[in-house]
Homo-oligomer: A and B are copies of this chain.
Amino acid sequence: MKNAMNQITQFETRIKYRFNDKELLLTALTHSSYAQESGNPSGSNERLEFLGDAFFDAIIGEELYRTYPDKEEGFLSRARAAIVCEKALAAEGTRLKVGEILRLGKGEEKNGGRKRESIIADAMEAVIGAVYLDGGFSETKRVVLEMFRDLLEDAKSGRFIVRDFKTALQEVLQQHGVTDIRYIPQGEEGPDHDKTFTVRLEVEGKKISEGKGKSKKQAEQHAAEAALKRSCDVI
């Protein structure tokens, strides 16, 4: 137990935040598999993840808004998608060694859950939610901006170049020798002044995703975004 507390203290040092209520941090580090096994299913980090996810989006969104005063909304959305995605969160969580102190059920432990990207990313969002409840908005902002400083610095220095989703998808697929990418219109609905277009994305004849939008172009971007989302390959 003393060892566990030491690990918690070391984690606090790494994230540069000291919790008033250590229980909040422990909950953020509790995977649902552990909560189930210990007979307290509502003690998992899922609610904190719900909370942290939204504050994470808002804080990164604001930072990009301020960093790029001349860029349009589409650019900001794409830049944010590259930072708030599972892969980036998991990378950050790995750097902060969140896996070491996760509370996992036995099955998850055996299945390598301690290193699974989705579990680490979810725990990171839960930690952000816990910081918010414990320390308020401005502390959360400080912690999040510090955590993602490198990615955000890349953005500011211009190394982080966000292109449109279609181009990004094309480049990712080309690296794998795939060039047969088709956006197939699936029709439109709604009145003339407020139409919604649907487009189906097929790669080598296989359906990958679908996108909707106020124009065919926007629907295509959304379809490409959906295809890229899990891979974080939007930068």
Contacts and interface: CB of A to CB of B under 8 A. Distances in A.
Nearest to A141: B137
Interface string A5-46: 000000000000000000000000000000000000010001
Contacts of A230: 196
A51 interface: yes
A54 interface: yes
A76 B58 contact: no
Interface stretch (A65-73, A93-101, A146-154, A170-178): A65-73
Contact of A54 (B46, B54, B118): B54
Given A57-B57, A57-B58, A58-B57, A111 B193 contact: yes
Interface string A62-93: 10010000111100110000000000000000
A71 B41 CA distance: 11
- How many subunits of this chain does the assembly comprise? 2
A210 to B, nearest CB: 6
A116 B194 contact: yes
B46 A70 contact: no
A160 interface: no
A62 B72 contact: no
A205 interface: no
Contacts of A72: 42, 46-47
A197 interface: no
A214 B61 CA distance: 27
B62 A58 contact: no
A214 to B, nearest CB: 8
Contacts of A137: 137-138
A183 interface: no
16 contacts: A42-B70, A47-B65, A49-B73, A50-B65, A50-B76, A50-B77, A51-B62, A54-B54, A54-B58, A55-B58, A57-B58, A58-B58, A111-B193, A113-B193, A116-B193, A137-B138
Interface of A: 42, 46-47, 49-51, 54-55, 57-58, 61-62, 65, 70-73, 76-77, 111-113, 116, 118, 132, 137-138, 193-194, 196, 210, 214, 230
Nearest 10 A/B pairs, CB to CB: A54-B58, A46-B73, A111-B193, A137-B137, A54-B61, A54-B57, A50-B73, A58-B58, A55-B58, A51-B65
